Amino acid sequence: MATALFPQSPDILFGNLFRDVQLGHVFADSKTFVDCVPKLSPTDLVTLYESEKSKPDFDLSTFVHAYFMVPQKLADDYVSDTTVSTTEHINRLWDRLTRPEDAHVEGSSRVPLPHPYVVPGGRFREIFYWDSYFTMLGLKESSEVHVKLIRGMLDNFAYLIDTFGFIPNGNRTYFLSRSQPPYFALMVNLLAQIDGKDILKTFAPQLRREYEFWMDGQPKLTDANPVSKRVVRLSGNQILNRYWDDTPTPRPEAYRQEIELTEEATPLGVQPEALYNHIRAACESGWDFSSRWFTDQRTMALIDTANTIPVDLNCLLWQLEVTLHNTALQTGAWKMAYDDYDPVIKAREKAIQQTFWNEETGFFHDYDFVKGVQTEALTLAGAFPLFFKLATPEQASRVHDRLKADFLQAGGWVTTLSQTGQQWDWPNGWAPLQWVVYQGLRNYGFAETANEGRDRWLALNDKVFRATGKMMEKYNVVDAALTTGGGEYPNQDGFGWTNGVYLAMDKERKSERVKERKSERVKE
């Protein structure tokens, strides 16, 4: 990987200065400092710091603010017009959430990208991998200028694959040890809906490299060593995947919180290096953090992500394999399509059924491959087999019943049934999962329930926008009168994937209403 082209991660680049700033609480949010841009070269800054810090009148905060440009939250100063519709507000906001192509800046953690791109908003001032697919859903429903952004963002992700061999969590140097849920194939297919199937040929090399990244280590798997990087071999030679990041240190963007968490984890018998590994794997999952990853479904210090085979990840990789099959057909590589990809697709379909379905609960669960059992957690990840049409009709019916009885709340679908204070748990709802559940239910004919969840979610988005002028990162779907929270940082506004899912859902709702009116006129 060509990481030498870019500066090192801030914790390495600034050494003692980095640790002193983070542990000295110079900024309330650890991410602020790693996004700062130095005004001097890193080497000169470190030398200056070492010579200045021992002086009697030295103040660390003053030093940092003098020699670093401190980033502001994106769109934080945007004044919304709450008299317009939510759709109009979102379309006006796209430009505020769009960054131009980047230039290299010495000492900056930002990895430059060659084309403009949309960022989530708030403290998230860079492109994020899986966020971008849901953002694209909304850009597709906006103007041609915004559709052009989809093409540029997809080219940016192709550039990242060509440069690093994979798509990082985001375009920051401190994200270069991990990816995020593999939505690149879905992005390519989305653009193919706009520009035609030849797009598959355009991105064929990057689709293959994306797959190679997730399957790296598979040839090394044996009965004695059934796990390598992101690949796990189960009994019967079933090959599935997990999230993984083997860097045994705190994340730079959450340094202080993770140092503090070790104090809780150590008495429980958890070694710091293992803790950091599991935390980073959870960050690769995008669900950072959730009781889904905790061995007791309550305690963050008992996070166990890297030992979990997630149902949603494996559905996404099945879809990547299907896209590779279709790409091979599009390029005329018939033998590759049928001899290489077909057996792999069928094997994963079988493994998904055998590994994740629970006949007793009527739901799809994650799998703990160390203990050899399914995890107990019921989460919206269990809807992904419906989203990709991998469930049988009988399974889909039982998942529908469980979703309707337990997960559907006043403002949409709640993420899990556990209330832990983590942001990917009860009572929070997130736009990407609303879309997955909505489309998954519609795939199996449960339109009434799907539309009910959609309409509750859109109504909640509208209500919060009218009250605050903001589109939020996440929402309290259980009690809309309360502020959504939980996790290691406050709720953020902007917000890329919420905007995208809102526009996509609203488009479908409006289309249905047009059909209903036409049907009524025919009856008359």
Q: Which residues are catalytic?
A: 288, 473
Are 484 and 428 within 8 A, CB to CB? yes
Are 133 and 150 within 8 A, CB to CB? no
- Please report, as a single letter, which amino acid is at residue 124: F
Burial class of residue 290, CB neighbours in 10 A (0-12, 13-18, 19+): buried
Alpha-carbon gap, residue 424 to 406, rounded angstroms: 16
On the CB side of 268, how many CA atoms lie within 13 Å of its CA? Answer: 16
Are 288 and 282 within 8 A, CB to CB? yes
Distances (CA, A) of 4 to 53, 102, 175, 253: 30, 18, 14, 21
Alpha-carbon gap, residue 36 to 216, rounded angstroms: 34
Residue 434 phi/psi, 5-degree rounding, is: -60, -45
Inter-axis angle of helices 496-523 and 431-443, nearest 10: 40
Q: What are the start-end ranges of the H helices in 167-307?
A: 184-195, 198-202, 204-215, 255-265, 272-285
Long-range contacts from 94-102, C-beta under 8 angstroms, 24+ separation? 94/118, 94/139, 94/142, 94/146, 94/149, 94/499, 97/121, 97/494, 97/496, 97/499, 98/149, 99/125, 99/127, 102/171
Structural tokens at position 265: 């984890």
